[in-house]
Chains A and B, each alone.
Chain A
Amino acid sequence: MSNSKESNYDTQWPLWEVFTQPRDGKPHEHAGSLHAPDAEKALENARDVYARRKEAVNIWVVQTEDITASTPEDQGPFFDPANDKPYRYPKFYNPPRAVKKRS
């Protein structure tokens, strides 16, 4: 056991990301991460770590290395173009006054 440091086995297990659904009907949101040897144990650990206070009605776990995220460099090309498309918002439109009053 003393030379364990040299073996490749001194593991803390792979990293997983945990998403919890706080209430029925709500979307899942990122709660945090944890270490687990496999999906079943990740789910159990997530329940014990991130739902000790009834914070969740449902849990997703996914191994961290399986997540593809946009990078800070993507920020401009990904998200800025949305700024100049005002027609995607209801306030862009002017319905006739009479109709507006009724709603």
Chain B
Amino acid sequence: MDEQEKQQEFQEKIDSGITIEPKDWMPERYRSQLIRMMSQHAHSEVVGMLPEGNWITRAPSLRRKMILLSKVQDEAGHGLYLYSATETLGTTREKVIDDLLEGKAKYSSIFNYPTLTWADVMVIGWLVDGAAIINQTMLARSSYGPYSRAMVRICKEESFHKKQGYEMVATMAQGTPEQQEMVQDAVNRWWWPTMMMFGPHDDDSPNSAELIKWGVKSKTNDELRQSFVDRHVEEAKAVGIEIPDPELEFNEETGHYDFGEIDWDEFWNVVKGNGPMNRERMKAKREAHENGEWVREAAEEYARKQKLSKEKAS
């Protein structure tokens, strides 16, 4: 079978909803696009641990401390599932983590913003995880088996992440004047960066069409953003939080909320590495990696010695 026939057969499989598995033939570009997308996704989970982890030691109640710690731990788990799924495409975790630490790989820009107050962490749970769920529910139906299976597991575990955030946001919005101010301030700072999470407009998103054709994604960036807005504006209203967008208005005709334009200069600036926390995030990850090197080495050396002495004994 020549390349073109293979391509055609592959597309037919995708179109009829057959899942692609690691050993199946796939176009090189499908493979490389998936490696890029899935490793970015994994990096996002792992870098995302930092802004939230920033508040574990300061959580204002034991209940909240345990919730936050187990949530951030879940993010580590999700990073792990995604790295493993990426490895089925023929790359290694060493390689993709190296790319991250050397600044060659991207991760979600949302984590380049600082968590300045406790409310930030709760708003991340509500808005950022809310946005992530919309994206991940779609990806759970992705054409690549390992990716979709990782997503199913992640979606199941993440269902509490947004809920705990929204619960605390609601408590604060109905709490003392200081709490109300704190939570509204956090929403003011996080709303637009969260809107940016869905990526550029469809016209400016070169990868989107291809990913949709291959069944990796089933909705465009703008469609996903719209469902995020529709859902979260209602949730904000329910607890008396204001969304910092003067143009936000329900459109009777479309049945959706119209909203203002994203500041794309800010978006691209953060993507290029100039967000408020880009450098710190990478520094923290590099330090953890370097400080852990002797541990990883030691475990491997111990395993080597054990194997050797077992072989000698037999």
Contact = CB atoms under 8 A, between A and B. Distances in A.
A–B interface present (Cβ within 8 A):
yes
B299 A37 contact: yes
B300 A15 contact: no
Contact of B300 (A4, A37, A52): A37
Interface stretch (B35-43, B51-59, B77-85, B130-138): B77-85
A18 to B, nearest CB: 9
A1 B153 contact: no
Interface in A4-45: 4-5, 9-13, 15, 32-35, 37-38, 41
B153 A32 contact: yes
A59 to B, nearest CB: 15
Given A12-B94, A72-B25, A41 B293 contact: no
Contact of B293 (A1, A38, A69, A71): A1
A12 B296 contact: yes
Contacts, number: 58
B194 to A, nearest CB: 27
A69 B88 CA distance: 13
Contacts of B23: 69, 71-72
Contacts of A15: 84, 87
A48 to B, nearest CB: 9
Contacts of B93: 12, 35
B84 A33 contact: yes
Interface string B156-189: 0100000000000000000000000000000000
A77 to B, nearest CB: 16
Interface in B58-80: 73-74, 77, 80
A2 B293 CA distance: 11
B150 interface: yes
Contacts of A11: 94, 296-297, 300
Contacts of B297: 9, 11
B77 A52 contact: yes
B18 to A, nearest CB: 11
Contacts of A37: 296, 299-300, 302-303
B205 interface: no
Contacts of A12: 92-94, 97, 296
A4 B291 CA distance: 11
A57 interface: no
A41 to B, nearest CB: 7
Interface string B124-142: 0000000000000000000
B296 A1 contact: no
B299 A38 contact: yes
A37 B292 CA distance: 14
A55 B23 CA distance: 28
Interface of A: 1, 4-5, 9-13, 15, 32-35, 37-38, 41, 49, 52-53, 69, 71-72
7 contacts: A12-B94, A12-B97, A12-B296, A32-B84, A32-B150, A33-B84, A53-B157
Shortest beta-carbon contacts, A-B, top 9? A37-B299, A33-B84, A38-B303, A12-B93, A37-B303, A9-B297, A12-B94, A72-B24, A37-B300
Given A1-B293, A10-B94, 5 more contacts: A37-B299, A37-B302, A38-B303, A38-B306, A72-B21
